[in-house]
Amino acid sequence: MTAAAHPPALHHLRGTLYAALIPIPLPMKTVTVLIDLSPPVTLIDTSINTPEARQALEAALSALGLHWPDIERVIVTHIHPDHYGLAGLIEERSGASVQMLDHSVKQERLWSDWERQLPAQHQFFAEHGAPPNFGVGEAQTSEWVCPAVRLTPLQAGQQVTLDGAEWQVLWLPGHADGHLGLWQPETELLIAGDAILPRITPNIGLYVGGRPDPLGDYFATLESIRALDPVQAVVGHYGPTMDKVAGRAQEIHGHHLERLDELLVAVRERPRHAYDLSFVLFARELPPSGRRFAVAETLAHAEYLRLGGAVQRSWVDGVWQYHD
Ligand SMILES: [Zn+2]
């Protein structure tokens, strides 16, 4: 079957596996949702809880002769709104089993408990030098997620069947603590989610309640992707697929090493908090949500340096200052 036989946003990948590019209100414009027609009928990722995304996914399903009740299983690569957002709605309409890595299951409750978590998040950013109004706009993020009621944990190393083949569940932390990948050893195809992306580097951020060294985690993830050397990866954005995956992993690793050098120079100039340092790594003007990602990413780099002994931090007047 050729791509021309489908609506433009639907791509035939191989066998019974299709990729739908679903619109999202974020700079990446679309997210990839994989649809496997082999039983159990499976979605990998769900897109975001907006009317546009719901309609686009419904249209993609219907172009493949599917309706919501046909979906039997949903596998979520990670719990960010653009990947997990429709899981609860799909679960409700189909009774599908919603599956994710055990680590994501623990963190997923964030979405049902969003209001209660906000003060801790504001405090976290305030302790890293952010101004008082830094949390404005966060309410929208939780509207983008319709959480599933029941979650089935997957373990790294276990096998799942897709397109009539066995795929190995991988743990690829960094962009999200519980980021899942799927690896098919015979075809050397990787379902990567946002663990690796063309055109942009996945945001690697330190957040409240997260693992302590997301950049260190991500370096290990890039190394394992490089070692697998996939023929092709299915990616969450700017896809649905990318080639030269190992080379891209190498390139992203180099990008973060440069960022670490820039940060080290800035910290050696004078003690600075992470909000201030975020303007060293991300100098351009950003909307509040963009600045939050920038501060979280700066913190991931600063903590990587600190845990490796290259910089230190001190508590000064209620704010963490990084210094050498
Ligand atoms: Zn994403």
What pLDDT does residue 210 have? 92
Q: Find the 319 Cα to ligand 1 centroid distance in Å.
A: 31
Tokens of residue 105, six digits: 């299951």
Centre of ligand 1 to C-alpha 180, Å, is 12
In terms of residues, how long is the chain? 324
Angle at 153 between CA 148 and CA 158, to 5 degrees: 140
Measured in Å, residue 314 CA sits from the centre of ligand 1 at 34
CA of 202 to the centre of ligand 1 (A): 8
Q: How far is the CA of 92 from the centre of ligand 1 (A)?
A: 23
Paired sense of beta strands 73-75 and 319-323, if any: unpaired
Per residue in 46-93, pLDDT tens? 999 999 999 999 999 999 999 999 999 999 999 999 999 999 999 999
Q: What is the mean pLDDT of the chain?
A: 93
In this structure, what are the phi and psi dihedrals at residue 315, rounded to the nearest 5 degrees?
-90, 110
pLDDT tens-place string over residues 213-222:
999 999 999 9
CB 22 within 8 A of CB 83: no
| H/E element, 309 | none
* 88 CA to centre of ligand 1 in angstroms: 18
Task: Answer whether residue 28 shows pLDDT above 60.
Answer: yes
**How many angstroms is it from 236 CA to the middle of ligand 1?**
6
Q: How far does residue 270's CA lie from ligand 1's centre (Å)?
A: 35
Q: Which of 2-11, 117-126, 191-200 has the lowest mean pLDDT?
A: 2-11
Q: How far is the CA of 175 from the centre of ligand 1 (A)?
A: 9
CATH of domain 3-258: 3.60.15.10
Cβ distance 76 to 83 under 8 Å?
Answer: yes
Pick the closest to residue 282 from 273, 274, 291 (CA basis).
291
Query: How far, in Å, from the CA of 26 to the mean position of ligand 1?
Result: 9
Q: In percent, how much of the chain has pLDDT > 70?
A: 96
Answer yes or no: pTM beyond 0.75.
Answer: yes
Quick one: pLDDT band at residue 5, thresholds 50, 70, 90?
A: very low
Element of type H or E holding 206 = none
What whole-number distance in Å separates Cα of residue 82 and Cα of residue 31? 7
Q: What is the DSSP letter of 78?
A: -
DSSP 8-class letter at 248 = H
Instruction: Give domain limits for the chain.
Output: 3-258
Report how far apart the first and last C-alpha atoms of the chain are (Å, whole number): 60
Q: Which helix (H) or strand (E) holds 23?
A: strand 17-23
How far apart (Å, rounded) are the C-alpha atoms in residues 116 and 110? 9
Q: Which residues pair with 74 in a beta bridge?
A: 43, 98
